[in-house]
Amino acid sequence: MDWGKHQYEQQKQAQEARRNQKTVELKEVQFRPVTEDHDFETKLKRARRFLKEGNVVRIVLRYRGREMRRPEVGEAMLDRVEEGTRDLASVEQRSTRIEGRRLTMRLEPTDA
């Protein structure tokens, strides 16, 4: 067997494998504790679309001013997002406390 031909075939196979692989992107959807229902549904729909495309979604809940006094409102909102995407995603990581002025949660699409 010709060694040069073998190397050429290996390079072609590697190139084809790189071309066919899907890169997973990290998409971000931002909420606030005072996000109203219609806006919440719109952002939830966007997160669901990202998950259907196979992307990882980071949910960020940003606090401003006096909103920091009631962190349970933000945690309830993250619970609503988790409930709304339960059929498409699983929670990969969820912050248990406020980091700066943010609460975050990473959703990873399930292979269902």
DSSP label at residue 34: T
Provide the token pair at 93: 């990581």
Taking only the tens place, the pLDDT of each residue in 14-57 is 998 888 877 778 999 999 999 999 999 999 999 999 999 989 99
100 — pLDDT class (breaks 50, 70, 90) = confident
**AA identity, residue 42:** T
Measured distance CA(104)–CA(74) in Å, rounded:
10
Name beta bridge partners: 60. 30, 104
- Give the length of the chain: 112
Measured distance CA(58)–CA(81) in Å, rounded:
11
10 — pLDDT class (breaks 50, 70, 90) = very high
The reported pLDDT for the residue numbered 94 is 86
Enter the pTM of the model. Answer: 0.75
Instruction: Indicate the domain borders of the chain.
Output: 23-109
Q: For the chain, give the mean pLDDT.
A: 89
Provide the token pair at 104: 């975050």
Measured distance CA(110)–CA(27) in Å, rounded:
16
107 — pLDDT class (breaks 50, 70, 90) = very high
112 — pLDDT class (breaks 50, 70, 90) = low
Q: Write the CATH number of the domain with boundaries 23-109.
A: 3.30.110.10
Measured distance CA(112)–CA(109) in Å, rounded:
9
